[in-house]
Amino acid sequence: MVLQFLIRILANNEHLVQRLSESYPMRKAAQVIVRAVFSGKNFIEERKLHEKLTPEQFRALMNEVAANFQNKIKQAHESIKGKMK
């Protein structure tokens, strides 16, 4: 509850949000997300999966992609931790 309060205060601080948005890690994170979205969109369109899949199959595919993405993030995190030691 206290954490939510602090996050709300920080999120409403326009100057802080502006400085964070201009920081290298935030820009890089935004680039990674946009690249992932567009590459996923292109992957689906190239293979015409949007025409072949039922909503349930699409949901299962997205869950698989999300799990794979989370695994990649964990691997990157462990790699960074290993380099810092």
In a domain, 44, yes or no: yes
Range of the domain at 60: 54-85
Q: What is the pLDDT of residues 14-73, one digit of tens each?
A: 998 899 889 888 888 888 888 888 888 888 788 777 777 788 888 888 888 888 888 888
In a domain, 59, yes or no: yes
Which is higher by pLDDT, 83 or 78?
A: 78
Instruction: For residues 39 and 58, state if they share a domain.
Output: no
CA 78 to CA 85: how far, in whole Å?
Answer: 11
| 85 pLDDT higher than 70 | no
Whole-structure pTM value: 0.51
* pLDDT at position 36: 83
* pLDDT at position 71: 86
Q: How many domains does the chain have?
A: 2
Instruction: For residues 44 and 28, state if they share a domain.
Output: yes
Pick from 26, 30, 31: nearest CA to 16: 26
